[in-house]
Structure 1
């Protein structure tokens, strides 16, 4: 009995050990499985996304050792945080290159918006199907190319805004776009999409904006989109149907089909005699001849009427008969210039100019547009025309195509606000015209030229230091006035550049194209307005009043160096390659004398003042907004500048700077102390 018990105890011990080992093994295996299956962290996903691109020095601050979000503040550049949660990426204007891996961001479960606009990203459109909760995708102004898979957006039911404009995308518009239930804003303009437009779901009643312009689309516009603005479809030669013109090709085909039916035996048999048919033919011929004679008589009467009336009356009659704008002429021996707008095709739209000045005689739109006109050029916002009204006054009419989203009441109120601005260094608004499809602004014509043309054209002779100083003093006064009178507007000017500084006969500067940011379409403002080229917008996507100071600094450096800030005016602007960077580099190398424009006369006795203005310009171009000079201080310092030279340069040193003569009297350098 005892032996049996002992044997049982010995045999049970290995079984217990085996059972224990099995449990431990299962537990370790489970832990291993859990460890291997753990999802990547948000930091890993963001770093994988960054590493899929080239030239990502702007994102060098991304580090796994640094916490991404601290409540609503992001420690990683371009990341948008809300209560410690990553909800968006805004990496615009950073010069990013390559093909981004957006699917790497699926480790960010709360990611709602991605904006990579205004970079140099290329390759096929990145796959985003894994980002199921994404609401907004902004990829405008890159270099994406190739076709988009038809199911690229399938299942992404949260998507509301998709911006793919101004890339090189080809092929058909993916049909999965037309199935997104919450889509409200779709921008595909400026690509090479071909084929027809897919029929959008009837349930997509929230879609408010769609832009398919400037592609290679063809065929009829789907019924679900026929109530959109016509500008949404312009630039596609073979698109037809409402809101564009009728589909003539389809009408012709329909007529052709009817003809085929006749050949198949569907022609109705004659119910009368051959004699009756002949009489009918003769009557038809007589009717046609009568109509032709009537047309000829009407033309003769019209010609006689034109001979007896003034030019305005002739054009008015032609307008009533043809329902189109008349052709206007620049002068003898010049080709005709057609000034035609969508808002002036109907006679009922004439005469609706709104004047903002009481000191100018009234005229109507017809009087202005039927007078001799001259094309001045096509700028950032649109074409400009010089016109002479019947009283002999020279005016400039400028057409704006980037204001279609602004409402009538807001536009009128803002224009009246601008019209109340009166300053010797502002180009005053005379009148404006509102129509949903386009807007016209009327100003007086400035005889001289623009500062840009004077510096960079063939007119530099005579633009000496004293004249340049006079110009910049006037510019600063005009800018200060705008900031004082428009305190509630973030960008009181917003578009300060040398081509928007006009000069009168005495070289007095007049600022133009100012205070337009509130009425420019938001999706185009960052592309068009130079204030959006400031470093703070490139870094954080935020814009402040000091963006005007940055633009002023660029203008000062352009005026002193004679160099055109070409990079500063391009869409893919890199602040590290700006004219201010070049000047700073020259200063560090003690080559300051090489900075100034060689064509600038009267500089021999004004070296100190020139260097002081150069220093002011660089202070306006500080990348750190807080370090950038205040406008009030800029005004004070520039007002202190005189035309002559001084024996002691040290008398004109500003705090934080030191100047020294190096070599000859024409060589100067300066650098920040410390």
Structure 2
């Protein structure tokens, strides 16, 4: 009898569950709590296909497994309104939730109701206020929490620090204050607390992390930052500073004059100007100089322009950033990172440990007045996207302009593709390269949405202008500058003016950035340095560029050897690599009418996977060692006509 009763109860439970709302109904109800979703979530409707078919999502922004929703990824959509957590609790297998780079505001939603969540991404929104102490209570599965670039304040809640499985925490760019709580997770990889209002000693459990993760908190101390000083020691230091201040100042001035009145910095600037001229070296040599571990020990104050800049003022883009004076940068010990198309770049480390990059622009259009320059900089400073390196501050002078950025330690994409590696050191693998190009495409699409008035919203998209963070997420730089650069200089050096439409017809269009994206895709896949970057002005160098080379080999039978030999591929990933190669060629189409537009290119890139999913004979290709195919790849693999 008891067995029959138990069976009856289980049957009722199962039938009751089937009577509940479907996943489609839950998503529709959740969508109705949002605003500004019309264009982004068009295919979220009850009359179309189901949200998931097996592992394939039919609705935008879903992650599916066996027909069930595992995650929501609604990023970069301009969404507003309320994140209805209560409705999402109807998705019991929900594991990841991402609303990065939208326009949500107000307090942190009650995410602790989603007790099975493994990853939460809410960075780059407008959330504000204090987070309750129990805001993350009972979320024992949560491993990754990203709340960066919001306006949270108050203390870091202890329930967040106590998450047992926490591995990555990103809280930078908020207004958290007070002391850092203890973190004792054994699998903790990263805790980014930079640019907040935190104070006191850094806990021992975080002492082995990089100092950049704590930069911008002026009252933090202890390893990896400088040691904490007792109040008694601080008093002694103040007395010594006051008494010996004049002596120290005189000594410093004398030292600076002695060291830098000679040729060191001046010769660096001269070298930079030579590099900006016609004497451009070979690609491999140039690529090596792009790595940020070159040219150590220089000081900005050695510049002959130092005295002229002393009275200049830095203008910050955001009020929630810890401010500093231009003099703090000029006097900081700095490394010369290199000389690019626009001028020299320096890494300057402030006294509080923050590492900044200062770019000197000496080819700005002098016909643009101060007000117009400030207005354009204001537009660039309002751009926030996970794949953009947004400037921190700028300085305007008629003779030259300075832009200040956060320092990105992992160098550029160009350096990872082209710099000489030690024997046995592998290059970027296929999953990493795919991750990078997806991020580049997303950042470029964001620029095109947010800068509709610019014919070429980026204008200088190339591998050396794509920086990589510690997780190999790409960050676009040197974007939106076409209106500010002297016309002759821009046409000689900027990538947009190497495009077929400019070299042949003296014009650029919204598709010009698409051509630059295509060249980068080919560079990423082949590992070859594009001659396109080295061409100056019309006519070019006479050498075959990268797109022409790929076109020529597509006309013949060729093998997977076209791909970079330094790239380790995912097993059975060649089909996806071929798809990306096709996308690159469609973006590089010389005929601008046949060239893909950006939306089509970005959509196709986002559909790519690490492994082949729709090629029946993929398993027969390649070996476990490299994942490449030995079969001949012909023009039939491409659905577009190949032009000479």
| Counterparts of 2:484 and 2:370, CA distance in 1 | 10
8 Å CA contact retained: 1:325, 1:339 = no
Task: Describe the shift of the 1:589–1:339 C-alpha distance in structure 2 as closer, same or farther (beyond 3 A).
Answer: farther
Q: Does 1:375 align with 2:336?
A: yes
What secondary structure is seen at the aligned counterpart in 2 of 1:577? Answer: coil
Partner deviation per Cα, 1:333-365 (whole Å, 9 max, x = no partner):
965545445654147614x11111223211111
Q: Does 1:599 align with 2:553?
A: no
Partner of 2:74: none
Partner deviation per Cα, 1:12-39 (whole Å, 9 max, x = no partner):
xxxxxxxxxxxxxxxxxxxxxxxxxxxx
What secondary structure is seen at the aligned counterpart in 2 of 1:586? Answer: helix
Partner of 2:393: 431
* Residue 358 of structure 1, aligned match among 319, 333, 338: 319
| Counterparts of 1:603 and 1:444, CA distance in 2 | 33
Q: Does 1:410 align with 2:372?
A: yes
Q: Does 1:309 align with 2:271?
A: no
8 Å CA contact retained: 1:535, 1:575 = no
Partner of 1:563: 528
| Counterparts of 2:568 and 2:398, CA distance in 1 | 49
| Counterparts of 1:509 and 1:312, CA distance in 2 | 43
8 Å CA contact retained: 1:426, 1:510 = yes
* Residue 530 of structure 1, aligned match among 488, 495, 509: 495
What secondary structure is seen at the aligned counterpart in 2 of 1:443? Answer: strand
Partner deviation per Cα, 1:158-202 (whole Å, 9 max, x = no partner):
xxxxxxxxxxxxxxxxxxxxxxxxxxxxxxxxxxxxxxxxxxxxx
User: What are the residue-to-residue correspondences of 1:106-145 with 2, within 5 Å?
Assistant: none
Partner of 1:391: 352
Partner of 1:158: none
What secondary structure is seen at the aligned counterpart in 2 of 1:510? Answer: strand
Partner deviation per Cα, 1:29-54 (whole Å, 9 max, x = no partner):
xxxxxxxxxxxxxxxxxxxxxxxxxx
* Residue 613 of structure 1, aligned match among 580, 598, 611: 580
Partner of 2:473: 508
What secondary structure is seen at the aligned counterpart in 1 of 2:593? Answer: helix
| Counterparts of 2:498 and 2:605, CA distance in 1 | 24
| Counterparts of 2:465 and 2:541, CA distance in 1 | 22
Partner of 2:410: 448
Partner of 1:623: 590
Task: Describe the shift of the 1:646–1:389 C-alpha distance in structure 2 as closer, same or farther (beyond 3 A).
Answer: same
8 Å CA contact retained: 1:433, 1:440 = yes
| Counterparts of 2:377 and 2:408, CA distance in 1 | 20
Partner of 1:161: none
What secondary structure is seen at the aligned counterpart in 2 of 1:453? Answer: helix
| Counterparts of 2:330 and 2:578, CA distance in 1 | 48
Shift of 1:380: 1.1
Partner of 2:604: 637
| Counterparts of 2:540 and 2:573, CA distance in 1 | 34
| Counterparts of 1:664 and 1:570, CA distance in 2 | 34
Task: Describe the shift of the 1:587–1:435 C-alpha distance in structure 2 as closer, same or farther (beyond 3 A).
Answer: same
| Counterparts of 2:505 and 2:247, CA distance in 1 | 56
| Counterparts of 1:617 and 1:478, CA distance in 2 | 17
Shift of 1:390: 2.0
Partner deviation per Cα, 1:69-111 (whole Å, 9 max, x = no partner):
xxxxxxxxxxxxxxxxxxxxxxxxxxxxxxxxxxxxxxxxxxx
What secondary structure is seen at the aligned counterpart in 2 of 1:424? Answer: coil
Partner deviation per Cα, 1:349-393 (whole Å, 9 max, x = no partner):
14x111112232111111111111111111111111100112210
Shift of 1:649: 5.8
Q: Larger C-alpha radius of gyration, 1 or 2?
A: 1
User: What are the residue-to-residue correspondences of 1:280-291 with 2, within 5 Å?
Assistant: none
8 Å CA contact retained: 2:558, 2:632 = yes
Partner of 1:517: 482
8 Å CA contact retained: 1:343, 1:435 = no
8 Å CA contact retained: 2:301, 2:330 = yes
| Counterparts of 2:247 and 2:613, CA distance in 1 | 63
8 Å CA contact retained: 2:418, 2:527 = yes
8 Å CA contact retained: 2:576, 2:609 = yes
What secondary structure is seen at the aligned counterpart in 1 of 2:335? Answer: strand
User: What are the residue-to-residue correspondences of 1:65-76 with 2, within 5 Å?
Assistant: none
Q: Which has the higher helix share?
A: 1
Shift of 1:420: 0.6
8 Å CA contact retained: 2:583, 2:601 = yes
Partner of 1:8: none
What secondary structure is seen at the aligned counterpart in 1 of 2:348? Answer: strand
Task: Describe the shift of the 1:501–1:649 C-alpha distance in structure 2 as closer, same or farther (beyond 3 A).
Answer: farther
Gaps of 5+ in 2: 1-239, 266-291, 619-627
8 Å CA contact retained: 1:491, 1:545 = yes
Task: Describe the shift of the 1:429–1:314 C-alpha distance in structure 2 as closer, same or farther (beyond 3 A).
Answer: farther
User: What are the residue-to-residue correspondences of 1:464-543 with 2, within 5 Å?
Assistant: 464-543=429-508
| Counterparts of 2:492 and 2:247, CA distance in 1 | 42
Task: Describe the shift of the 1:311–1:368 C-alpha distance in structure 2 as closer, same or farther (beyond 3 A).
Answer: farther
User: What are the residue-to-residue correspondences of 1:164-203 with 2, within 5 Å?
Assistant: none
Task: Describe the shift of the 1:567–1:489 C-alpha distance in structure 2 as closer, same or farther (beyond 3 A).
Answer: closer
8 Å CA contact retained: 2:358, 2:402 = yes
What secondary structure is seen at the aligned counterpart in 1 of 2:457? Answer: coil
Task: Describe the shift of the 1:594–1:347 C-alpha distance in structure 2 as closer, same or farther (beyond 3 A).
Answer: closer
Task: Describe the shift of the 1:315–1:646 C-alpha distance in structure 2 as closer, same or farther (beyond 3 A).
Answer: farther
8 Å CA contact retained: 2:514, 2:596 = yes
| Counterparts of 1:588 and 1:307, CA distance in 2 | 78
| Counterparts of 2:519 and 2:612, CA distance in 1 | 24
What secondary structure is seen at the aligned counterpart in 2 of 1:481? Answer: helix
What secondary structure is seen at the aligned counterpart in 2 of 1:309? Answer: helix
Computed over aligned residues only, the root mean square deviation of the Cα atoms, in angstroms, reads 3.4
Task: Describe the shift of the 1:316–1:359 C-alpha distance in structure 2 as closer, same or farther (beyond 3 A).
Answer: farther
| Counterparts of 2:616 and 2:585, CA distance in 1 | 19
User: What are the residue-to-residue correspondences of 1:637-656 with 2, within 5 Å?
Assistant: 637-646=604-613, 648=615
What secondary structure is seen at the aligned counterpart in 2 of 1:429? Answer: coil
| Counterparts of 1:550 and 1:311, CA distance in 2 | 59
Partner of 1:421: 383
Partner of 1:242: none
Task: Describe the shift of the 1:554–1:320 C-alpha distance in structure 2 as closer, same or farther (beyond 3 A).
Answer: closer
| Counterparts of 1:612 and 1:378, CA distance in 2 | 36
Partner of 2:548: 581
Shift of 1:576: 7.8
| Counterparts of 2:464 and 2:318, CA distance in 1 | 25
What secondary structure is seen at the aligned counterpart in 2 of 1:426? Answer: coil
Partner deviation per Cα, 1:380-435 (whole Å, 9 max, x = no partner):
11111100112210000011110151321111111111111000000110001111
Partner deviation per Cα, 1:195-215 (whole Å, 9 max, x = no partner):
xxxxxxxxxxxxxxxxxxxxx
Task: Describe the shift of the 1:357–1:464 C-alpha distance in structure 2 as closer, same or farther (beyond 3 A).
Answer: same
